[in-house]
Amino acid sequence: MDTLYPWPEPETLSSNKKRVIQKLVEGQQCATELQVIVLHNNKPPQQAEELVQKILWSFNQTLSMLAEAGHHDEVISQNQATCNDDCKSQDSSESSKRSLSAFVKDKRGCYKRKRFAQTKIVVSDKIEDGHAWRKYGQKNILHSKHPRSYFRCSHKHDQGCSAIKQVQRMEDDAQMYHITYIGTHTCRDQYSSMATPRIDSPSPILKLESEEQATTPSDVTDLDSMTMWTDVMMGGVGFEIDVVSNMYSCTEITCLDLEPVELENGLLFDDTDFA
């Protein structure tokens, strides 16, 4: 399989958690230093470059670990569940029969399940991302200690924003959240500080992007999507993986002009999407 990177399931990911976290912390520390240098000293490009290299190396190490632990799993392909737009939308006579009682009662369940056009996964200790979300459901997941919460953009109705996200605590580290973003924000709610008042400042560690339609260049540069991820990374360094193109992107909130860096496995760091 040469189109999908063998990304591990979150459970597998956690087996390397200590090393992963260590490396990610290194990366974050370097990023913090870099941020100070760039924002306040406004110069030494050489020093900045060194730090950038360290950051990239740390994240590269992390990726390698994760890739080692991983296997050809469905986590990604599931996430990019093909979007057959014309999936059965009209209710069949079968479902009509089944809906009879529901019709009498209410309209619960009368919906069309979305097919994911774009899915991104974030592992973070915070779930705040700068957007306003409305919780619309919660489910206990089989073999999972923690329930999964379902959120949709608060501007779904007033602005027609179709972005949703699912949040679930990690199995063996309840401090960490496994957050799946589905769809992109079309609303104008960027950086609303009070978006998710219950959550502290964000510091996402890892994110995985899976775009089933990523073959379209416009998807890669989708402004809403990028803005969303910039939101997610407020206050820290984020890491994005374009699964389809096998391209890793290291990004920093201040949008530094990082040079694309070739990684092992022929992967590439590139921040151009966020510049």
Partner DNA sequence: CGAATTTGACCTGA
Partner DNA sequence: TCAGGTCAAATTCG
- Contacting positions for DNA (CB under 7 A): 81, 87-88, 91, 95, 98-99, 101-102, 105-115, 132-139, 141-144, 148-150, 152, 154, 164, 166, 198
DSSP 92: P
Q: Judge contact between 222 and 209, C-beta under 8 A.
A: no
State the chain's maximal CA–CA distance in angstroms: 71
The distance of closest approach from Cβ of residue 245 to DNA in the complex, given in angstroms and rounded to an integer, is: 23
* C-beta closer to DNA: residue 39 or 104: 104
- 17-36 and 45-69 are packed helices; what angle lies between their axes, rounded to 10 degrees? 160
The distance of closest approach from Cβ of residue 27 to DNA in the complex, given in angstroms and rounded to an integer, is: 30
Q: What kind and span of H or E run contains 227?
A: helix 223-232
* C-beta closer to DNA: residue 164 or 241: 164
The distance of closest approach from Cβ of residue 271 to DNA in the complex, given in angstroms and rounded to an integer, is: 30
Q: Judge contact between 13 and 20, C-beta under 8 A.
A: yes
* C-beta closer to DNA: residue 40 or 143: 143
Q: Judge contact between 126 and 202, C-beta under 8 A.
A: yes
Residue 16 CB neighbour total at 10 angstroms: 18
The distance of closest approach from Cβ of residue 152 to DNA in the complex, given in angstroms and rounded to an integer, is: 7
* C-beta closer to DNA: residue 93 or 218: 93
